[in-house]
Amino acid sequence: MKAFVYEYGKLKLKEMSTPVAKVDEVVVKLKVSGLNRRDLYIPNRLGPDKEALILGSDGAGVIEHVGAEVKDINVGDEVIINPALRWEKNSDAPPAGFDILGMPDHGTFAERIVLAANQVEKKPAHLTWEQSGVLGLAALTAYRATFTKGQLQKGQTLFVPGVGSGVATFIVCYAKHIGARVIVTSRSEEKREHALKVLGVDKAIDTNGDWQEELKGETIDLVIDSVGEATFNRSLEVLKQGGKIVVFGATTDDTVQLNLREFFYGQYQLIGSTMGSREEFKAMLEFIATHGIYPEIAKSFPLEQAEAAFQMLDKSEQFGKIALLIEK
């Protein structure tokens, strides 16, 4: 089968062995996969001396083979892949053994994938294959950060620095559908306009601007941040005393300087979040079905053009998700 892999320091399309299901596994014939920033970072983490690893965490497709002990899943079922491995029930933090699909396990940038049967769920009926294929990681991460950790409520104000990523667009959609007020930032005027007109945010400001001046009169209840060092302290400056800041990533620097005295006097709550459990994945699917939420797709590429898709993601040119079309 064809697969997009990282092998001995290079990204490339390669023929790989077709996977075979064990008794408790299923083989999914993939139709669409989705890119995440995680896919950009894995080559650096692996180094130049590793054998071929199929990248990719997101995907959707059709069940092609079912192991002998698998129940309630049949050949021909249309499914979406849950990329959070070995995390069944919601918990304060991931359990021992938790991994994200795509490293160290083979991922979704391939014609087929073999998975434990409990890692697939029924494809949302209201979504196309492209929309389903890019959903998993970003939508789950956003759901846990917004609701499980952030506890966002109707009428509260949410602040999201750096709108445009897949996770950020889901966070905004979730917040608007429960009746929260949403403020976002971007360095791109085009992305700010898109957020206002398409996502329906209440205010979009320049990331490079004066946030305290721009947000005079606003009461920020919750910040959800994935930028890291470049925005962390600026976010604290506009967060209300006693407010929450949920962090699920760090696309700039991992390390921040924090004035502890200001932090504890302000009674702020700092909360970490990553991915989510199968329980939350199911709740997320139910939420997007109930509210008719659709992923924002910036562009779709055939699998053969995966390198071009990586380049687009690396430049942060997209608004929303980038898809890889596996089955033509």
CB-count burial class (<10 Å; 0-12, 13-18, 19+) for 83:
buried
In tens, the pLDDT along 29-88 reads 999 999 999 999 898 888 888 899 999 999 999 999 999 999 999 999 999 999 999 999
Residue pair 83/100 in contact (Cβ under 8 Å)? The answer is yes
Residue 317 has pLDDT above 80, yes or no: no
Domains and CATH numbers, the chain: 2-137+294-325 (3.90.180.10), 151-272 (3.40.50.720)
φ, ψ dihedrals at 219, nearest 5°:
-115, 105
DSSP state of 305: G
CB-count burial class (<10 Å; 0-12, 13-18, 19+) for 9:
exposed
Q: What angle do CA 225, 135, 195 make, to 5 degrees?
A: 50
In tens, the pLDDT along 215-236 reads 999 999 999 998 888 889 999 9
A 10 A CB-CB count for 68 gives 9
In tens, the pLDDT along 259-310 reads 999 999 999 999 999 999 999 999 999 999 999 999 989 999 999 999 999 9
Q: Which residue type occupies 217?
A: G
Give the C-alpha separation, 182 to 319, whole Å.
Answer: 17
If you search the block for the tokens 């609701």, which residue do you land on?
A: 147
